[in-house]
């Protein structure tokens, strides 16, 4: 009887040991998977676990237009007049293949994606952790007039590396605050700081937005406020990463700063010149 | 140096636009207001110092000398006004206020959705800090925004579970801010301070535009 009891105890101990080991191995594997899923922006667009934001869902929604595709088509440059280039939004235009790759890496949408936002099933994307789907959902929400939810979704995508989302969220928030509270310098400070966050993360083309939306902004006079806001907003991105347990994004400079400056210099002259550009397709 | 009329309901720019001078001196019409501090004294107009040039410029010069002293009495330093704090739900009355969903059910999953209320709280911060804002409107907007943003950031399968908690947390935040019993010690002073700071920033901006 004692032997039998001893055997039973040993059996249960063995079972418990096996179960515990399996649990630990499973947890380690899960952690490893999460680490690879939430890899820093630039390697591969992170795709969340679960039904929302899954690879299948992304595939269903975007079909073959996914910028995170492993084998994007070889880009072909087109020529454009410098003055025409500077009049359009330069954020989604690249002057080199490297810059185009950077745009893809940071989830800049194509014209086609923007045109198809109205047909996007945004309700099914609620809570998505995929920065690409978040970008599209946020933009679609803005189009449908859900401004603050759109801002929130875009900013979530931005925390995972979607820089274009951060910029669009900043503009939408600025419009919302102006609509509710009137035009004040404080609100302009907030927009400027939000755009400085995008610049700090790498996009030097925010200059276009600053010139367009804050033409009379007194940069030197407001520097202190902008610096304080920028610090807080950067910290907020870090806190978001901490809460959701993914690695926070860091600076990833957009290539082509010198080339863009050269284009801007050309744009100031009256001589018509053309440049080669690459566009997202 | 003449004192300024500082009662009424209009800002500095309005006052300058509506003021005029005559041989007997200048008057400010409509009067300059200092709403956040409940007014700064009375009096009106100032004498002609015998060196009359452009009356408006003369008035402006006097105003630029006087105004910093007037608002300084009330804690406003025009050259270094307080900053607007836009920092999520932050703290109120010393208590930590989470900007993530607090749910007794699936608490870890709820918190793991991230700071889903941060944007709503940011807008609320900006609302409190804007000179002339209505506190009740700011608080109601917070509740509405929290629900809208919270539901959009909740995955569809979890929505039935978290919906009541999102609405509950939004209601609790707004209700706490509007609660008359504790308001005098919590949200009212916070709002008044934010308003004072908001006016100070507004005056500072106007002062720099007019006097620099």
B95-121 per-residue burial string, b: 16 or more CB within 10 A, e: under 16: eeeebbbebeeeeeebbebbbbbbbbb
B202 interface with A at CB cutoff 8 Å: yes
Task: List C-alpha distances in Å: B104 to A126, A234, B13, B101, B134.
Answer: 21, 30, 52, 10, 33
Lowest-confidence range among A31-35, A214-218, B134-138, B196-200?
A: A31-35
Distance between CA atoms of residues A65 and A58, nearest Å: 10
pLDDT value for A57: 58
- pLDDT over 50 (residue B1): no
Classified as helix, coil or strand, B92 is: strand
* Residues A154-174, mean pLDDT to the nearest whole number: 97
* Chain A nearest-CA residue for B148: A149
Distance between CA atoms of residues B202 and B136, nearest Å: 21
- pLDDT over 80 (residue B174): yes
In the numeric block, which tokens belong to residue B117? 């209320």
Task: List C-alpha distances in Å: A154 to A210, B18, B104, B142, B178.
Answer: 19, 45, 28, 19, 30
A52 interface with B at CB cutoff 8 Å: yes
Other C-beta atoms closer than 10 Å to the C-beta of A123 total 10
Which residues, other chains included, contact A50 with Cβ-Cβ below 8 Å and sequence gap of 6+? B155
A228 interface with B at CB cutoff 8 Å: yes
Cβ contact, residue pair A221, B208, below 8 Å: yes
* Residues A231-253, mean pLDDT to the nearest whole number: 94
What distance in Å separates residue B130's CA from the closest CA in chain A? 7
Residue B21 carries which DSSP code?
E
- pLDDT over 50 (residue A46): no
User: If you search the block for the tokens 């399968």, which residue do you land on?
Assistant: B157
Residue pLDDT, tens place only, B18-37:
343 433 444 343 334 443 34
* Chain B nearest-CA residue for A193: B86
Q: Which chain A residues are Cβ-neighbours of B166 within 8 angstroms?
A: none
Are the CB atoms for A199 and A206 separated by under 8 Å? yes
Give chain A as a 3 state SS string.
Answer: CHHHHHHHHHHHHHHHHHHHHHHHHHHHHHHHHHHHHCCCCCCCCCCCCCCCCCHHHHHHHHHHHCCCCCCCCCCCCEEEEHHHHHHCCHHHEECCHHHHHHHHHCCCCCHHHHHCHHHCCCHHHCCCCCHHHHHHHHHHHHHCCCHHHHHHHHHHHHHCCCHHHHHHHHHHHHHHHHHHHCCCHHHHHHHHHHHHHHHHHCCCCHHHHHHHHCCCCCCCCCHHHHHHHHHHHHHHHHHHHHHHCCCCCCCCCCCCHHHHHHHHHHHCCCCCCEEEEEECC
pLDDT value for A73: 66
Which residues, other chains included, contact A121 with Cβ-Cβ below 8 Å and sequence gap of 6+? A61
* Chain A nearest-CA residue for B86: A229
What distance in Å separates residue A5's CA from the closest CA in chain B? 40
Candidates B123, B129, B145; nearest CB to A186:
B129
What distance in Å separates residue B123's CA from the closest CA in chain A? 7
* Chain A nearest-CA residue for B205: A185
In the numeric block, which tokens belong to residue A91? 């954020």
Other C-beta atoms closer than 10 Å to the C-beta of B74 total 15
pLDDT value for B51: 52
What distance in Å separates residue A183's CA from the closest CA in chain B? 10
The pLDDT confidence band at residue A30, using thresholds 50, 70 and 90, is: very low
Torsion of CA A265, A268, A270, A276, to 10 degrees: 50
Please give the angle made by the CA atoms of B182, B185 and B188, to the nearest 5 degrees.
90
Q: Which chain A residues are Cβ-neighbours of B152 within 8 angstroms?
A: 126, 141, 146, 149, 152-153
Task: List C-alpha distances in Å: A204 to A105, A125, A197, A277.
Answer: 15, 30, 11, 17
Lowest-confidence range among A85-89, B34-38, B106-110?
A: B34-38
Higher pLDDT, A269 or A17: A269
Cβ contact, residue pair B153, A126, below 8 Å: yes
Torsion of CA A164, A168, A170, A175, to 10 degrees: 170
Which residues, other chains included, contact B111 with Cβ-Cβ below 8 Å and sequence gap of 6+? A243, B100, B101, B102
The ranges assigned to domains in chain B are: 12-74, 91-198
Indicate which of A37, A52, A126, A246 best probes the interface with B, i.e. most B CBs within 10 Å of its own CB: A126
Average pLDDT, chain A: 81
pLDDT value for A32: 38
The number of residues in chain A equals 281
Lowest-confidence range among A9-23, A52-66, B50-64?
A: A9-23
Indicate which of B79, B117, B119 best probes the interface with A, i.e. most A CBs within 10 Å of its own CB: B119
Burial (CB count <10 Å: 0-12, 13-18, 19+), residue A121: exposed
The ranges assigned to domains in chain A are: 107-251
Q: Looking at the whole model, is its pTM more than 0.80?
A: no
Lowest-confidence range among A37-41, A209-213, A239-243, B15-19?
A: A37-41
* Residues A39-43, mean pLDDT to the nearest whole number: 36
Residue pLDDT, tens place only, B33-74:
443 343 443 334 444 444 557 888 888 889 999 999 999 988
- pLDDT over 50 (residue B200): yes
Are the CB atoms for B133 and A187 separated by under 8 Å? no
Other C-beta atoms closer than 10 Å to the C-beta of A57 total 19
In the numeric block, which tokens belong to residue A190? 């907030």
Cβ contact, residue pair A148, B123, below 8 Å: yes
* Residues B110-137, mean pLDDT to the nearest whole number: 95
């Amino acid at each position: 009887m004692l032997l039998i009891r001893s055997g039973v105890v040993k059996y249960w101990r063995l079972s418990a040991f096996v179960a515990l080991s399996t649990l630990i191995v499973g947890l380690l594997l899960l952690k490893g998977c999460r680490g690879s899923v939430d890899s820093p922006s630039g390697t591969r667009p992170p795709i969340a676990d679960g039904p929302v934001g899954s690879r299948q869902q992304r595939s269903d929604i975007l079909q073959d237009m996914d910028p995170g595709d492993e084998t994007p088509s070889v880009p072909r440059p087109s020529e454009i007049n410098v003055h025409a280039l500077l009049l359009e939004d330069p954020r989604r235009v690249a002057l080199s293949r490297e810059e185009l790759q950077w745009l893809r890496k940071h989830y800049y949408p194509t014209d086609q994606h923007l045109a198809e936002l109205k047909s996007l099933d945004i309700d099914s994307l609620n809570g998505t952790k995929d920065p690409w789907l978040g970008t599209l959902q946020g933009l679609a929400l803005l189009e449908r007039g859900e401004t603050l939810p759109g801002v929130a979704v875009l900013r979530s995508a931005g925390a995972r590396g979607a820089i274009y989302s951060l910029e669009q969220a900043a503009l939408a928030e600025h419009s919302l605050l102006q609509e509710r509270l009137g035009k004040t310098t404080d609100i302009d400070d907030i927009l400027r700081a939000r755009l400085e966050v995008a610049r700090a993360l790498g996009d030097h083309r925010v200059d276009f937005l600053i010139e367009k939306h804050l033409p009379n902004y007194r940069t030197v006079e407001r520097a202190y406020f902008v610096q304080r806001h920028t610090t807080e907003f950067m910290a907020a991105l870090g806190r978001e990463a901490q809460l959701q347990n993914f690695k926070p994004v860091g600076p990833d400079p957009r290539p082509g700063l010198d080339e863009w400056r050269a284009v801007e210099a050309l744009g100031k002259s009256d001589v018509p010149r053309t440049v080669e550009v690459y566009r997202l397709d | 140096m003449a004192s300024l009329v500082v009662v009424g309901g209009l800002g500095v720019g309005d006052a300058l636009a509506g003021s005029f001078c005559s041989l007997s001196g200048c008057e400010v019409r409509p009067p300059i207001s200092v709403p956040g501090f409940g007014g700064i004294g009375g009096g009106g107009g100032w004498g002609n110092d015998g060196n009359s040039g452009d009356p408006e410029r003369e008035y402006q010069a006097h105003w630029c000398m006087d105004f910093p002293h007037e608002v300084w009495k009330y804690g406003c330093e025009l050259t270094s006004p307080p900053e607007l704090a836009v920092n999520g739900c932050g703290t109120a009355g010393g208590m930590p206020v989470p900007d993530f969903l607090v749910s007794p059910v699936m608490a870890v999953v709820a918190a793991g959705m991230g700071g889903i209320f941060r944007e709503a709280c940011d807008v609320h911060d900006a609302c409190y800090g804007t000179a002339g804002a209505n506190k009740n409107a700011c608080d109601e907007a917070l509740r509405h925004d929290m629900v809208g943003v919270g539901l959009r950031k909740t995955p569809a399968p979890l929505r039935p579970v978290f919906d009541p908690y999102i609405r509950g947390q939004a209601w609790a935040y707004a209700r706490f801010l509007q609660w008359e019993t504790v308001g005098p010690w919590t949200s009212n002073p916070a709002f008044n301070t934010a308003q004072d700071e908001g006016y100070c920033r507004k005056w500072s901006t106007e002062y720099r535009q007019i006097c620099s």
